[in-house]
Amino acid sequence: MRDEPFLHLRSAGTSLVLDRSGSGLPRVVHWGEDLGELSQDALAALALATVPQIASNNVDVVVPVGLLPEHSAGWLGTPGLTGHRAGADFSTAFTVTSFHVAGRTVTAVAEDVTAELELRLEVELTDSGLVRQRATVTSRAAAEAAPFTLSGVLLTLPVPERATELLDMTGRHLRERTPQRHTFTIGTHLRENRKGRTGTDAATVHVAGEPGFGFRAGEVWGLHVAWSGNHRSLAERTHAGEALLGGGELLLAGEIALGSGESYTTPWVYGSYGRGLDELAGRFHGHLRARAGHPHTPRPVTLNVWEAVYFNHDLGKLKELADIAAEVGAERFVLDDGWFRGRRDDHAGLGDWYVDEGVWPEGLHPLAEHVRGLGLEFGLWVEPEMVNPNSDLARSHPDWILATGDRLPPESRHQQVLDLGHPEAYAYILERLDAIVSEYSLTYLKWDHNRDLVEAGHSPTGQAGVHAQTTAVYRLLDELRARHPGLEIESCSSGGGRVDLGILERTDRVWTSDCIDALERQQIQRWTGLLLPPELMGSHVGAPEAHTTGRTHGLAFRAGTALFGHFGMEWDLTRAGEEDRAALREWIDLYKELRGLLHSGEVVRGDHPDPALWVHGVVAQDRSRAVYALVQVATSVVSPPGRVRLPGLDPAADYRVAPLAPGDRRRGPASTALAWWGEGVTLPGRALDAVGVRAPVQFPERLVLVEAVRV
């Protein structure tokens, strides 16, 4: 295979055909549906069949569009590598010097003798059918030469002409992952993130697809940048007909200047192909679940006390909360913000990571011992990357704050950002976290990050510092977990502001949003699921009246929404009546019974024509069982509702479909009950997908569960 001009990588229904003929960087002939076994002659014919004509007034050669497009080859779209050496060498022309193939991983090493640069390009087709790639750029200039100032590296994947529609995400705090769709026209649709973190409005997965694609139909191609700092992704179509998706880190001016022998490695950029968004998402889910570090123990029911007590820490109240949580079936107790020095509100204390002696004269030990005595794990909230100006740390070390050198950035939530690129600041935070985890034998940290990075520079020089900050956070997480192998960490960032595969190499779940209004969460979780499987999405049952929106929902809607994630509670249970506690216990029992299925099965979502009725569920990998939620998110223009199709089942097998308690309750008189609702119905999987079953009449913002079991 090493000397063959064409490489055909195949996995899980995906083909990636690379053309490595000639001396230039490898080009993608095909990325998409599996083409089956093809000979070198057939691959050569395929490449020949896709070579375009030379159009008038273009360059007089066919322009190769490599995985890293080059201006020097005649590509006039966005270049793959941008930078300069003292104003020269702005355009690269790489020649491949070595090529190595190991299984489904391809490594090409190339050089630009004039620019004195080396490029190492890695491309892999994973077991789940994802394409992932990264590049390393190294300066090979002499020591006395000017450094190469790198402005950016963009790695791309082509998409076919029929991909004429785009989907990506936008959003804000409390409304993350809001989808937006539009036509893929000629030009560049660019999503840039300059927030210093992934961002609540991140594109998440940038998707191109056939017109009208949905969850279950239409070919789609998606790209994700696995990076937790500034990044960009784009969808670009040229007048010559080429279309591609690309992405990489967004480098601020001067962040990367490569001296002799120095290197820069990009984040991994992932591509996923599927027939429908469910298959595209399933490749990400399969890849994450196959990781050695993926959580493989049952995801514990978690009580987080933020919306129960806020900053008002009282040992008696917290013990009572723990008692009730244990009674209803909780398995983990997390003490949120407010436990450290001076932290009575959000104006002070960040950076002073010592237990507040005035509130906790005996430390956190009385609470931790009580919690563990109930059989619950004990976890703690931290926000290590931030500092309040009103803190002992900021007063002692103002030079540890990310700033341009002569001024501080505007405050956000009354806080600034601690410069973890500063070795002493990094060492201080590592020592404090290590000490706290050790003293209290913590098994869980809720790791928050509550502001965007504005004018994030190293003091006193003011050099841009987002890249260094991001890599320092990664090192900090890696070192802390190495010291405490059993420690689980949640990525929280104003809720869902840091959701990407870079942070998830080092954390065990994300806090999907600070909004736990179940209606908002239906959309937030639906679209976060384009990247993440349910077990990585923190999803909690809130109080009857939502903290962030003021809406009131019944327990079945709140708990049924939280069921399809990593289940927890964010509720002052001392205010819950006996009836609510008993009902909550039923839901927790159901979660514990189902989490093996929910956290290993295939996530499916129905393309239902009525936007007021959503259908989603999880199907076991062996297709023996499935659980679906029928969710009325708004009033419908039709009543009674139509049929809902239940996707993902074995078409040849028969299934018994019936309501699933306690999510089987519907509103309305008994006389209006569905004919099949009481006793269930047995139908082939093919019929359940093609025809479906009637949905029950429900009022808006209601949810019922149905279960399909193979017979």
Q: Catalogue the E-assigned strands of 416-470.
A: 416-417, 444-447, 457-458, 463-464
As a whole number of angstroms, the distance between CA 182 and CA 16 comes to 27
User: What residues are paired with 225 via a beta bridge?
Assistant: 269
With H, G, I as helix, E, B as strand and everything else as coil, classify residue 257. strand
Residue type, 535: E
Angle, alpha carbons 537-539-540 (nearest 5°): 160
Q: Which of 629, 646, 641 is nearest to 683 (CA)?
A: 646
Buried b (16+ CB within 10 A) or exposed e, 66-95: bbbbbbebebebbbbbbbebeeebebbbbe
As a whole number of angstroms, the distance between CA 612 and CA 111 comes to 56
Residue 580, φ and ψ in degrees, nearest 5: -65, -40
Residue type, 82: T
| Residues whose CB is less than 8 angstroms from the CB of residue 190 and which lie 6 or more positions away in sequence, other chains included | 232, 233, 234
Block residue for tokens 């500034």: 230
Q: At what angle do helices 555-563 and 518-528 cross, to 10 degrees?
A: 10
**DSSP code for 241:** S
Region of residue 362 (phi > 0: left; psi between -120 and 50: alpha; otherwise: beta)? alpha
As a whole number of angstroms, the distance between CA 584 and CA 235 comes to 45
As a whole number of angstroms, the distance between CA 387 and CA 394 comes to 7
As a whole number of angstroms, the distance between CA 311 and CA 222 comes to 42
Angle, alpha carbons 276-277-280 (nearest 5°): 100
| Residues whose CB is less than 8 angstroms from the CB of residue 366 and which lie 6 or more positions away in sequence, other chains included | 315
* Cβ atoms within 10 Å, residue 143: 7
User: What residues are paired with 643 via a beta bridge?
Assistant: 694
As a whole number of angstroms, the distance between CA 48 and CA 42 comes to 10
As a whole number of angstroms, the distance between CA 363 and CA 438 comes to 13
As a whole number of angstroms, the distance between CA 433 and CA 437 comes to 6
**Catalytic residue (one of 19, 89, 278, 448):** 448
Angle, alpha carbons 322-310-303 (nearest 5°): 30
Is 514 catalytic? The answer is yes
- What token pair was written down for 491? 């990525």
Alpha helices in 484-542 (DSSP H): 518-528
Residue 66, φ and ψ in degrees, nearest 5: -80, 180
* 473 contacts 228 by C-beta, under 8 angstroms: yes
Radius of gyration from C-alpha coordinates of the chain: 27
**Catalytic residue (one of 352, 514, 517, 689):** 514
Residue 435, φ and ψ in degrees, nearest 5: -65, -40
Which are the catalytic amino acids?
448, 514
